[in-house]
Each structure stands twice: as C-alpha cells, then as structure tokens.
Structure 1
Amino acid sequence: MTTTATPLDVVGVRADFPILGRTVREGKRLVYLDSGATSQRPRQVLDAERAFLETANAAVHRGAHQLAEEATDAYEGARQKIADFVGVDYGEIVFTKNATEGVNLVAYAMGNAATAGPEAERFRVGPGDEIVVTEMEHHANLVPWQQLAARTGATLRWFGVTDEGRLDLSDLDELINPRTKVVAFTHQSNVLGTVNPVRVLADAAREVGALTVLDACQSVPHGPVDFKALGVDFAVFSGHKMLGPSGIGVLYGRRELLEALPPFLTGGSMIEMVQMAKSTFAPPPARFEAGVPMTSQAVALGAAVDYLNAIGMDRVAAHEHQLTEAALRGLSAIPGVRIVGPLDAVDRGGAVSFVVEGIHAHDAGQVLDSLGVAVRVGHHCAWPLHRRMDAAATVRASFYLYNTLDEVTALVDAVREAQTFFGVR
C-alpha cells in the first residue's frame, strides 16, 4: 500500500476513548481487537449525543417550537455530513436502525414492486429472473435475497471464493447476464478482510441493467469511500462500526432509484396525503423513514464523521494497513496457526481470522480473554464462507484506528500462550 498520509497519532487518539483505559480479568490491560463487531466511541461522540439530549431533545419535523427546530436542524445536519463523507447527495441518504434493515428495505421494496405503479418496473422480480450474491456474504446480505427469491420465484446464484479467499470472477459473464435483476456483494469481507473489486462488479451489472447493492459495513469506517466513484446503486453501513452509536444505520440509494422505489415500512412521517381509502407517500428520504427516527443516534453518528474527518481517512487506512501486516506476519510465524483469508495485506482490510490446530476457536478465545485480549470467535454471521474455507469456526482479530503495534504483539503472544495452555505447542 502506497500512501503519502502523515502517521496517525495513535497515542492522542487513544486518549479520546475512555473505555480503552480500563482493565479486565483481574487487572489485565484491555486489548480491544473486536472493532469488526462494534467499535468503541470517543468522548467527542459521547459528548455530542449527551449535549443533544440535554439541550435540544424534541421530535423532528413536527413541533412548531424552538426545540423542534433545533432538533430537526441537528438531525438533517447529520444527514448532510454523512452524505459528504461517502461522496453522495444529501437526499440520497436514508437513516435506518442498522445496515441489516437497509438491505431488507431494498429487498422487501423490490418484492413490493409487483403491486406498485409503472415507475417501479425496474424493481420487479419474478420467475426467470436471477439474483446474484457471493459466497463471502454476511448473513445480512444473503438471507434477505434468499427470501426475495422465495417470494418471487426468482433464482438465487452466487460467486464462489478461491482457496486464497478472493472472489472467483472466472464466470463473471455467465453469472451476471440479461436475466440478472440485482447483484449484492460485500465491499470488504468481515471474515477474510478481502477487499473486492467493486467497480468491476458494478460495471458488469450496469451493462445488463441489473441493480447493485453494496455491503460497506467493513469499508466505510476504515478508509476513504466514495459511492459515486464506485458506481453502485445502493449501499449500506452501520454507525456502531465507525465510532458511532448502535441503533443507527445508513442506506444510500441513487436519487432516481429512491424516487421510484416503493416504501418498506409505512405509517407516520413517510406520507404525503392520507385518506380513509388510500394514501400517497412523501418523496425520499422521508418515504423510507417511517415513524419517529433515531434522532440522537443520528446526531452522534454525525459527530463520529466529524471525528474521522479530523483525523483523515487516509491516515486511518494507512495505520490499519500497518497493523494488518504485523498481525499477518506474526500469526503466520506460529506453527499450527492457519490464517483464513489472504496471507498478504494487498487489497485486504484489518479483519484477520485464523484457526489454531488442536484448539477450538471458542476455547482459544477464552484463553485470550483471560489475558485481556478481546476478539470474536465463531462463524461471524458467515456460515457458508466458513464451510468454503474448511473452518467450523475461527478466531477473528479486527483492528481500528485506536489499536497499536504493541497490541498486535499481545495478540500473537496470547495465541502462543493458548497453545501452551492446551498442550499443542
């Protein structure tokens, strides 16, 4: 990876995260390596949400009073920050409760297109149509498409994964064809760390008139991402993986597509006019934000974007690349450890999954936890991928801007200690 970014001040960054100063398991220093599951929050984000709740908490888009105006300005201001962060227009950002809801929103709306008006023709799916995913997907970007195929009679197809842990695109022209209605895929694998060639898949889909849905949960928090430049139609990501709160996610959709897409949930806030026999719906993004939204969470996510922008996403990416290289090098040097995924850091993010011969992943995770090293164990909501990689479960370390090379060393040392504990070394 070549970068001109100046080094990240990791000591200064860590000082912003109160939780990183705590100890666990009888005084062990916390080594938090589970940011792929959820990230920690800096004081700036915690303070922003608290300040909103203490000074401007009110229902947005409703009240005719000052608090409501201030709350609405803060909520919509966060939308603008997030749109700028991923290179899209303000009206193309829809707030959801998480990325999973964002994928389901698109999939269910496509299922509803059969009874919508002619403007929804592009979204209609039926027998003879094909939905394409990959073997690399998190369940949240697989199961909704399985369900859409089951409801509509469409056929689900998928790209395989190579032994190295890359997408197998050898049958690209056969899988993405004139029957394809949607291609859904991850930008960066939450298990393998693999960064996929988004533009290649997006261009192939566009050539046959198919829509693209990108899972960007593991990419948006960790480096510069521009959805317009990537050429995707829809994309989702979650706030809690990028220094923000839980309970807030983001769906990006190209404006002309959102304007034609039928609603997912219905009720208050998303209507234009209601009569007893029928209703008409508001334009996007309001059409897809039924009910009272996650106001303070959106404001806090906007603060997280401010924090990341102040550091610089190039710096974040360069720092994590260094950590990933060190982890791959250190873990590969341990006899009996198999890294699941690419063995080098080229086109690879900071999720490093591995198995330890003779030790179940959950047992390894418990030993690491006893030493203060927090990792995730299991299948990471990616059962098909684990089967493909011949791993019933893996240990996953995932890095973020607040991690250090010393923490990578602590991980490697803890794995060696687990081997000693279980007598496999």
Structure 2
Amino acid sequence: MTKLRLLGLQLAFGWMNLVLAVPAIYLMFGMPLVMRQHGWSGTEIGLFQLAALPAVFKFLLALPVQRLRLGRGHFVHWLLLLGAVLLALFWLIGRHNLIEQRLPLFALTFAISIAATWADIPLNALAVQWLPRSEQLRAGSIRSAALFVGAIVGGGLMLLVQARWGWQAPFVLMGLGLALGCLPFLALRARAALPALEAADAAQGVLADWAGFFGQPGARQWTWLLLIGFPFIGAAWLYLKPLMLDQGMPLEQVAWTVGVAGGVTGALFSLVGGRLVPLLGTARAIVLYLLAALCALVLLSVTVWAQLGPRWLTGCVLAVAASMGALSALMFGLTMFFTRRQRNASDYGLQSTLFTVTRLAVPVAAGLMLDHLGQLGMLAGLSVGVLCAFAFAWRVRHSVGGRAESLLAAE
C-alpha cells in the first residue's frame, strides 16, 4: 500500500473519530453552561450526564456488528447505516430549541450517544482491518489527537456557533461534517470485505470469542494496564478547571489555558507520542509515558501546595496535557494491536468497555477525595494511582510490548 493511500486512510479515520466525538462533547460537556443559564439545577445537569452510559455497554453493541453481516463489506455498511441514524437524530434535535424541555432533550441526547458509540465500533474495526500493524500506532495517536480537537470544537466553538446563529446551527455543522466523513468509506466499501471465517470460528459463541481475546499472549497483563493506565491522569484533567478557579485564576484565563492551550498541547503530543513509540520500543514507551504522567501530577501537587502562582499552574496544565496526550495515543494503539483481525468488532468493543468503566469510576472517587480531603488530598490520591500503574507497567512491560513487537515482526 502506497504512503499516499495510507495517509488518505489515516485522515479518513481521524476525521470520522472527530465528527463522532464532537456531538457527545457538545451535548454533555458544552451544553451544561447553556443549561445553567436557563435555570437547570445542578442535580438535573448531573443526571443529564447519564446520557454517556451507552459507552459502558459497547461490548454488547459490538456483537451484532461482528456477527450480523450486511452484505459484502459489512463494516462499512454498518458505519453508513449508523451514520444515517445519527444524521436523522441531528435533524430531530435541531428542529426546535429544546433547552427548556428536559425529557425530550435527554432522550435525543441518549439516542445520539448510542448511535455515535455504536458507529465507533465498525469505524475502528475497519482501522484494524485496513491498516498494517505498523500504521496502527499512528492511527491511535491520530484518534487521540482527534479527541483533543473534539474537546475544543464541542466544548467551545460549538457554543459560540449556537450563541451567534441559534440552536440549530451546531447540529447542521455536525451533520455536514459527518456526511463529509462518510464519503470516503462509501467509495472504499468494496475493499471492506473480510475473508470468510472457517466453520469452527464462525460457530464460536460470544463467551468463546471473549475467552479467545484473553488467551492471546500478554492479553491478561494488557487488560489490567488498560484498566489502570489512563483513568488517574484523565481524572486530573477533568478537575483542572475547578482546581484552577479555586486557586484564584480568572474564568476566562482558565478557559484559554485548559480548554485551548491544553487541548492543542494534548493533540500535538498525541501525534508526537505515537511517532516516538517505534523509536523507543513499546515496552520502554509504556513505562516512560506513565512516568511522565506521574511527574506531571507530582509537579501539579507541589505547585498547589506551595501556592506558586498562575505561571506555574499554566506550566502544570501543559505538562498534564502533554503526558495525557502521549499516553492516550499509546493506549489506543495497543488496543488495536490486541484486536484480532477476525474478531475486529468484538475485541475492540470489549476493550473499549473495560477502558470506559474505570475512566468513569475514577473521577467519581476523585470527586469524593476532593470533597473530603481537599485539592491536595485528591491530587495525592491520583498520584498514588499513577504510581501503582507505573509499577505494574514496569512489571508487565515485556509481556505487553512483546505482543506488539511480535505482531509487527510477523507482518
């Protein structure tokens, strides 16, 4: 496959990851600001976040994608079908301003969350199917960068679009972006066919599929690393805005520092981190990226404890964003390495669910620590979590890294 063709595929996957991420970020992280302005209570805004629950059940959503074949190139057909459903939902939610209609807004947001979560499965199954193993780390870094850019677009730019052009405008733009992203896959659907499964493989049940995933060399160690490697630095990022406000930094400065500068830094280091992995080696990259995350959290803790001021806080934000970007790129790339080509959807869905469970649980625990132990207590707890992840990664680095290297060598 030529470099130009690979670049085109990477851009197509990156764009689709972006347009699938923006709606959820806009509705669940950007919209609460508008909700508050229209009198929504804190409890109502908190309950609205339950619309993100479909991500926890991605392993179940993956089963029909893997097993129900929609003709030749069925992953593309699944992606296009779910893209069409998402476009219809954008039209429904954008017809009328629903900010005062809590139940319809939640119902449509929940439906959009299901469709976007579901569409992510055939999209990344196609990435595993189409891209050589040597390109999958780059795909992971591009996906990580797309999520950082999605946070800037969905959590900031779309709010400005709505304020200037009204309720419908963001959904029109998101629909256009999605339709544009589907076009390359429509053109390439002929190459999406999978080789026929052997009869024994095709007859396997769901439990046998999952047992096969865990039976891969290094898969058990990778599963634990997937559960604990990212959530602690991710939780720190989630609480950075309120933490900086509590430290006396003005709201506008917080928005620019975390929302824009931090997002851009995370996106850049996602790309850089993915490129460095082949040079460092997977085993070394795992421990180095977790060490960088630990150092960033310790620096932030010292800055808060010593009251070093806005400049140090800004530097800490960028350090957390950089380490989180590099680490997420590596985690996404390794997720693809541990996704078997003949079980693209089911393996990817299972890993995504495992990742999501702790990514949602750790921020809840961090919030409890913040309420009962204060900022330093929360930061200390998250730092201990990253330290444990680093110690575990040091122990299993050769098992996990060896799997990646063996797949690259076999290609």
Check whether TM > 0.5. Answer: no
- Structure label with greater radius of gyration: 1
Q: Which has the higher contact order (CA 8 A, sep 6+)?
A: 2
The structure with the largest helix share of the pair is 2
- What TM-score, normalized to structure 1? 0.29
- Relative to its length, the structure with more strand (as a share) is 1
